Amino acid sequence: MMMAGLRERKKEETRRRIAGVALELFARRGYDAVTVGEIAEAAGVAKVTLFNYFPTKDCLVLDGIHDDIASIVTRRRPGQAPLDALREHYLATAAHGPGDVGRMPAQVRIIAATPVLMAGLHQASMGQRHELAAALRDSAGGETAARLMAAQITAAITTVQEAFFQRLASGTPLEEASRLFAGDVEFAFDQLRDGIGGNRS
């Protein structure tokens, strides 16, 4: 068991090192100008090893950008509403830190500057939305309702995440950015629960 844990830690360290080297090279020279071979060499791994961790070049940047929100819904506690499960997840994310915060601003800048990555992000978002709609179908009461709910939920999540990334990129301390992120999550899920304008007279 201890050896298995050590292997997993080593694998995660290798994964983080490769991704970190890739982001540094992309930020310095541009995504299109850097080859996978150069990344592997700079990270001190074989090219085949890099592909074991990141099947495609765009995965080096897009990896970890999206949560598996469909799984959050399907694995929710018995009797828990989908919106409540998602709210709980993102509040926990705000409390414990959303993934590898140190690399997120660089990821966002590189994606924004690279059309092929923007297209990949859009495609991934569409896939995420379709998977969420499938997970919501039974509780939403039909396919069209599930698709509309999924579209609203993913738009809300994307909006609050973008605000978080922008704060970090502008120099807001992590603790403050996380506090504001938690507030945004509460507001966004209140809006989703009540409907836009639902809490106004």
**CATH code, domain carrying 45:** 1.10.10.60
DSSP 8-state assignment for residue 33: G
44 and 100 housed in the same domain: no
Q: Do 32 and 122 sit in the same domain of this protein?
A: no
Mean pLDDT value across residues 162-180: 85
100 & 15 share domain: no
Contact (Cβ atoms closer than 8 angstroms) between residue 157 and residue 90: yes
Going from the C-alpha of 127 to that of each of 17, 64, 98, 150, 157, the distances in angstroms are: 28, 15, 21, 11, 15
pLDDT at 3: 60
* Residue range of the domain that includes 44: 2-61
Rounded Cα–Cα distance for residues 52 and 196 (Å)? 44
| 56 & 71 share domain | no
158 and 91, same domain (yes or no)? yes
Q: In this structure, is residue 23 part of a structural domain?
A: yes
Q: How confident is the model at residue 101 (pLDDT cuts 50, 70, 90)?
A: low
Question: Are the beta carbons of 61 and 26 closer than 8 angstroms?
Answer: yes
User: Would you list the DSSP string of 104-125?
Assistant: HHHHHHHHHT-HHHHHHHHHHH
Residues 49 and 76 in one domain: no
Is residue 29 situated within a structural domain?
yes
Q: Are residue 86 and residue 126 in the same domain, yes or no?
A: yes
pLDDT over threshold 80, residue 7:
yes
Residue after which a domain boundary falls, among 16, 44, 61 = 61
201 found inside a domain: no
More confident residue, 8 or 35: 35
Closest CA relative to residue 178, chosen from 109, 85, 91, 84: 91
Number of domains into which the chain is organized = 2
Q: Is the pTM of this model over 0.85?
A: no
**Bigger pLDDT: 25 vs 197:** 25
Predicted confidence band at 88 (pLDDT cuts at 50, 70, 90)? very high
- Confidence check: pLDDT of 1 > 60: no
Residues 81 and 13 in one domain: no
Q: Is residue 107 part of a domain?
A: yes
Alpha helices in 32-173 (DSSP H): 36-43, 47-53, 59-62, 69-74, 82-96, 104-112, 115-140, 143-169
As a whole number, the mean pLDDT across the chain is 87
Summarised one tens digit per residue, pLDDT across range 34-80 is 999 999 999 999 999 999 999 999 999 988 777 889 999 999 999 99
What is the Cα–Cα distance from 133 to 151, expressed in whole angstroms?
8
Return d(Cα 81, Cα 75) in angstroms, integer: 11
pLDDT at 102 over 80: no
More confidently predicted of 97 and 112: 112
User: Which pLDDT belongs to residue 167?
Assistant: 85
Domain boundary residue among 10, 31, 61? 61
On whether both 48 and 74 belong to a single domain, the answer is: no
102: helix, coil or strand? helix
The answer to whether residues 171 and 76 belong to one domain is yes
pLDDT tens digits, one per residue of 113-161? 899 998 888 888 888 999 999 999 888 888 899 999 999 999 999 899 8
Question: Is 151 contained in some domain?
Answer: yes
